[in-house]
Amino acid sequence: MAFGLCLLLICMLYMSVITECQDPKQYKDKCSSLVLKDGGDVITMSDQLYNEARLSHQDVAYASSIEDRDRILSPTIITIPLSENEIVEIIKFANKCGYTISIRSGGHQYSGLSSCNQENGKCIQIDMKHFDYIIIDNISSDDDKLITVGSGVHLVDLYQVTQAMDIAVLGGICATVNAGGHYQSSSQSGWSRSLGLGMDYITRVKIITADGEIRNVYKGDDLFWAILGGSPGSWGVVIEYEFEPIKDSDYPHAAYYSYDHFYSKQGFSAFLNAFIDLLDNPYYANNNDMTVWFAGLPRLADPSTSSVVVGTLMSMFLSWTGIDNGDIHSVIPNHPMNKTWHQELVQPFIDIDEMFEETQIRSTDGTTTISKWLYEKANTVGRESVIPQFRKLNVQHQFNKTTMNELLRGPNREEYIQSIVDKFDELAANTTDNLEILW
């Protein structure tokens, strides 16, 4: 009896498999299509919206041609999920069907790695733009606040919220950079030499890992350090970050100075030499109050288009927190000429600004707050100086030890500095490749 029942079950199972294989209506290849259950978009290469979706807000700085851009940015499938559960669906589909995954929050990964290239195999891009929420705990109290920031939040929107509360989350000043990749890749700011990186203030990361698990990872966990120490997307899909923000009231001596000019070779040389002298100044090098940046980049007639470049912009930024020495107008202890910090560190740039008055665009000199500065810079410089999409020759240059030794103490220091001036002059004259240089 038992043997007969087993035989019957085996026969039924066999007939079920045969019937399924022979009846296309009952058989569906689970890898033939991806459908997100909460209504998120799935865009394939044959869809009319594909080009718009793959190129929108996507930066590829090193791409030298439209052909390179089209080859680099070519995901097999673009997904725009509405929920965490849909991201889990995407990850499981990719694991099952042999797709790799790339993640885009704002699309400012200069090598195009927030997209993917189907020439390297089937790939899915996850666009995190719907995860654009900001949640503030203890919003109505004087207690320490915690800020939860979704991966799809624009930095300018984050700064607008925080500056209204006199608190700050450190980060860059490009308005359309989004939180997701930025805070997993250092998040430098104009205050970093004094206050560290934006990622230093993260207390929790919500992430969906490659096994499809939704995890809250807290500071101190091994995975926490791995997420912040690896490049964006290397450990999963970051959903949100939680921050302990900076309080403006902790830095009552904060000040900011900037000098923007249209490019001239003489002006660039003067600012560059003063910048290098500042780096070698012991009153700067041995104290943590000041952060300095020097940038050269295209200035556009209309930030919404990449077609009209009206010149090259030179920008000198100096920020002061007073974290070690308080008021910038106080006298430096034991200074042989009894100078203030402002006279020693800032005045040389004021002199150059006045010397090249004919190329001046704007200058800023005075007190500020950390949060106000972040918002104002993202909302002005971060919008006005938008680099044309896909046409930027990016040669960002953070000084390494070898370069610093050459600039500050090398036997051919003057020749080395002059070679930088000559190269920038050559590049600034070429408007077919737009250039950004950042020190």
What DSSP line would sit under 354-404, residue for residue?
HHTGGGEEEEEEEE--HHHHHHHHHHTHHHHTPPPTT-EEE------HHHH
Rounded-to-integer distance, Cα 101 and Cα 227, Å: 16
Torsion 397-399-403-404 (CA) sign: positive
In angstroms, the first-to-last Cα distance of the chain is 84
- DSSP calls for 90-154: HHHHHHHHT-EEEEESS---TTSTTS-BGGGS-EEEEE-TT---EEEETTTSSSPPEEEEETT-B
Beta strand residue intervals within 198-331, DSSP E: 202-208, 214-218, 237-243, 246-247, 255-262, 290-300, 309-320
Query: Hey, which residues does 366 pair with through a beta bridge?
Result: 256
* pLDDT score of 209: 96
Give the gyration radius of the chain's Cα atoms.
27
Length of the chain counted residue by residue: 439
Pairing, β 167-168 against β 246-247: antiparallel
Q: Split the chain (439 residues) into runs of 10 and give each run's mean pLDDT.
A: 39 34 47 92 94 78 64 91 98 96 87 83 95 88 86 96 96 90 90 95 97 96 91 91 96 96 92 93 96 77 52 88 97 97 97 93 90 92 48 44 74 86 79 54
What pLDDT score was predicted for residue 11?
35
In this structure, the dihedral spanned by the alpha carbons of residues 414, 419, 422 and 423, taken in order and rounded to 10 degrees, is -150
Separation between Cα atoms, residue 393 and residue 381, nearest integer Å: 19
The whole-angstrom separation of Cα 209 and Cα 98 is: 17
Q: Is 110 in contact with 104 (CB distance < 8 Å)?
A: no
Burial class of residue 90, CB neighbours in 10 A (0-12, 13-18, 19+) = buried
